[in-house]
Chain A
Amino acid sequence: MRSHAGTPPSRRRFLSLLAGGTGAGAAVLSGCALQVSSGVSGPGETVTLMVKPDDISPELIKQAQRDIGVKIVAVRYDITKLIGMMTSGSPPDLVRGVGAVDAPYFAARDVMEELDPYFASSSVLKVDDLDPVNDLWRYDGRTQGMGPRYGMAKDFSQDSMYWYNTALFDRAGVDHPPETEPVTYEQWLESARRLTQRKNGQTTVFGGSYNGVLTPNLLASLTVSAGGSLFSDDFSRVDFTTPEARKALGWYVGYCGARVGPSIIQPDPNGWDGPTYQANRMAMSNSGYWLGGVINADRNLAPFSRLAPAPVFEGGARVSPCQAGTGLWMPKKARNKEAAWRVFEWFFGEAPAKERAASGWGIPTLRSLRPLMPSQEPYQAEVLRVQEAELKHFSVIAFTPYATADSLYGLFNQIAPAALRGHMTVDALAGRLNSVMNEQLKRGKEQVG
């Protein structure tokens, strides 16, 4: 037989060499992937949390080890990474989510673990103690707010409420909003116009910001406030042409067009209201109680900051929803569910929850933690009074399970700028939004089955 030594390897040999290398590499990689959620590590349990850095600090991770003997491995939240981990069968044990929009989406796709049995046996998280905001994490296969629980909010805000800077109101000679009675959306916009200050084409003070958490759930909330519903009964379609949705859309287009606050046609380089409000360059910010975390920490700003009830549409319903309800959920294929639940209990009902409640970053989602909310200073007491009165008007506004809020937001951003700049009528915008969003919802419905 002729020797092959000294000749280049054949294609087959070359490929077999590569295949060997690939196999070895794949084994190494899959070993790494498995390590992410292997369950037990050392003397205690290990739980993988997919969260944002703000959700849990390194100190809290160490504290978990001390308090409950569970080692937490934090993985930075990233939807693509989450999908990759779920697809490979190694999901995190707990995942961050925005209850208002993520709960129906993931629950409808049957990737979330039902938590009712866990709640039933828990001595830390009792169903009677849960604030109604946690209903955002319920889904009965058709409507959000009913059925089994799939997660829990870590804190919340009634996001249509707004903070205002009394000093900027006084400087502009605008009356302060009433403490517990809502102004109309039209009045809010008029005040924002009067509060806006411009110089040489530059906005030195934004009259008011009103963008909600994400435009789609803002529009859904505004439509309910106008007395209607953005979604059809089965949540498979949107309709922006109903009088109520048209009113809501028209108001938002008017807000953006007036350029009294940040929007996609006048972006705020800070990306969110906090720093702009803190710099005394924003008179009103619709961020809900949650922004109190920033305000309470600023001794110069806090005495001049007040919280006001969510505006209403004339003749519409008084609703004050939560557009986020950010919290955690457990994937159905999580490997270490018992330990994950122990972390869940600790995070939502023990030391971290108490610390969050006292910080002013959102309202605690357990009623029993309400007394911890900041109220020592007179302005804090005033804010708390407004907030407590507003809680009576809380309601869950159900979101569609057939599309992510991000996808509807993306479609809105692609279509709306022309209308926001006055190059398209609101009616034409409503028609275009119906067309593109319903196409996305149709695709989503096909995929849910």
Chain B
Amino acid sequence: MTVDQVSAEIDRSAAQADADRARAAVRPRTSMAARRHRAFYLFTSPWIVGFLLLTIVPMAYALWLSFTTFDGVSPHWRYVGLGNYRELFADSQTWDALGRTGLFAVTSVPLSITAGLGLAVLVNRPLRARGLFRVLLYLPAVVPPVGAGLAFKALFDQNSGAANGVLTLFGFDALGWLNDPYARYVLLMTVLWGAGNIMIISLAGLQDVPRELHEAARIDGASAWRSFRSITVPLLSPVLLFQTVTGVIASVQTIMPLLLSPDGTTQGVTAISQSNYMYMMHVFAEYFALGRYGYASALLWVLFVLILGATGLIFKFTSGVVFYNVDPEAKK
């Protein structure tokens, strides 16, 4: 064997050893990654299966129904293509309900966020019995909506409610709170009554605001209001954005008018006052009272698209005013 051949053999052996080492190094890594992936899918599979069965399948089914005249029982229901959607856009009740829902959202969301933030600022101060105040203010948010609906119905009943009891005590005439035009104000009150939920989230956000920024601002001569406006609010902006988005989604899907209605059932949805006849009430009416599953499904799909659109718009218009407290280096 020549020197060159020996040298070549050594090189081949070295290359082989390198390749073996590389394979040995890679194999455990890849199998570990594979295990991680398997574990991920294994642990998330209950949710994924649930999501598919309970969200995607019903949504797809509702989409299919929205192209039909299906009413659940009748034998001769048929495919109508976009007929339900065309009818929907020509239905004045849909537009009226949508308008009321939009008005409710633009009123109730800012009001409840402001109220929740105000309460959070209050209970964030070094008060006596601060914990008790926090619990008491949060308590209404723990009450189930059905309980809240029943309580408000009893409280604002025209003939036996405590609200009119107070009015008549001071010589005023009793009001039909649960009828037009007052019903909308009772509905708003139920929203504000549950502001403790927003308070808790805002409180968590407030406690995340670095104290030294406020101290620095105070040294620079900033007033409390200026400090709140220029430090607290910008640092809370991701929290406020979250509350706005979830608030809008919840308000357009509110079922509280149904709980405040005399009947309180989905069949009796049409008996609710006109001022509280929101989009979801219209869906319930078409679905449960009129038995128009196809048309109601079309209404729901339109609502889904509207919610997506509204959420997108909120993100777009707030992108310049929401500040995330993230270390820029961490992104790399």
Give CA–CA (A444, B48) in the complex, Å. Answer: 39
B242 within 8 A of A: no
Bits for A245-285, please: 1 = Cβ < 8 Å to B, else 0.
00000000000000000101111110100000000000000
Is the C-beta of B107 less than 8 angstroms from some C-beta in chain A? no
Cα–Cα, bound, A443→B71 (Å): 10
Interface check A86, CB cutoff 8 A:
yes
Q: Which of A80, A106, A201 contacts B174 (CB 8 A)?
A: A201
Question: Could you tell me if B74 and A448 are in contact, using CB atoms closer than 8 angstroms?
Answer: yes
Assess whether B254 is interfacial by the CB under 8 Å rule: no
Query: Which residues from chain A contact B74 at a C-beta distance below 8 Å?
Result: 109, 444, 447-448
Q: Is the CB of B53 within 8 A of A18?
A: no
Contact yes or no, A5 B69, CB < 8 A: no
- A206-223 CB mask vs B (1 if < 8 Å, else 0) is 000000000000000000
Q: What mask results when residues 169 to 183 of chain B are scored 1 for a CB within 8 Å of chain A, else 0?
A: 000111110111000
The residue on B at minimum CB distance from A106 is: B73
- Asked whether B30 lies within 8 Å of A3 as measured between CB atoms, the reply is yes
- Chain A residues within an 8 Å CB radius of B48: 18, 21
Q: Determine the chain A residues whose CB is within 8 A of the CB of B34 once the complex forms.
A: 5-6
A358 proximal to B (CB < 8 A): no
Q: How far is the CA of A195 from the CA of B178 in the complex (A)?
A: 24
> Which A residues lie within 8 Å of B269 (CB)?
410
- Given A18-B48, A203-B158, A407-B290, check contact A5 B73 (CB 8 Å): no
Chain B: interface residue total (CB-CB under 8 A)? 56
CB distance from A316 to the nearest CB of B (A): 28
Q: Which residue of A lies closest to B286 (CB)?
A: A410
Within 8 A of A (CB), among B238-294: 261-264, 267, 269-271, 273-274, 285, 288-292
Closest residue of B by beta carbon distance from A80: B288
Main secondary structure of the interface of A (DSSP, over half): helix
CB-defined contacts of A406 to chain B, threshold 8 Å: 267, 288-291
**Any chain B CB within 8 A of the CB of A300?**
no
A190 interface residue (CB < 8 Å to B): no
Assess the A414–B288 pair: CB atoms within 8 A. no
CB-based contact B69/A413 at 8 Å = no
Report the separation of the CA atoms of residues A268 and B192 in the bound assembly, to the nearest whole angstrom. 25
Known: A83-B72, A443-B69. A22 touches B160 (CB 8 A): no
Tell whether A48 is near chain B: CB-to-CB under 8 Å. Answer: no
- Per the bound structure, the CA–CA distance linking A42 and B72 in Å amounts to 33
Question: A residues within 8 A CB of B76?
Answer: 446-449
For A29, the closest partner residue in chain B by CB is: B53
Q: How far is the CA of A265 from the CA of B180 in the complex (A)?
A: 9
Given the interface pairs A269-B157, A440-B290, A448-B74, the reply to whether A5 lies near B33 with Cβ below 8 Å is: yes
Q: Is the pair B157, A410 in contact by a Cβ cutoff of 8 Å? A: no
Q: Determine if A9 is an interface residue (Cβ-Cβ < 8 Å).
A: yes
Kindly state whether residue B77 has any CB partner on chain A within 8 Å: yes
List residues of chain A with CB within 8 A of the CB of B5.
none
**Supplied contacts A203-B158, A406-B291, A414-B285, 12 more A-B pairs, CB within 8 Å:** A18-B52, A21-B52, A79-B288, A109-B73, A202-B164, A264-B271, A267-B178, A409-B289, A414-B270, A417-B180, A444-B71, A446-B76
Q: A residues within 8 Å of B by Cβ?
A: 3, 5-6, 8-9, 17-18, 21-22, 24-26, 29, 79-80, 83, 86-87, 105-106, 109-111, 199-204, 262, 264-269, 271, 404, 406-407, 409-414, 417, 440, 443-444, 446-449
| 26 residue pairs from A and B, CB less than 8 Å apart | A5-B34, A8-B37, A26-B53, A83-B73, A86-B73, A87-B72, A109-B75, A200-B173, A201-B174, A264-B262, A264-B271, A265-B179, A267-B178, A269-B153, A269-B154, A269-B157, A271-B262, A407-B291, A409-B289, A410-B267, A411-B290, A413-B270, A447-B69, A447-B75, A447-B76, A447-B77
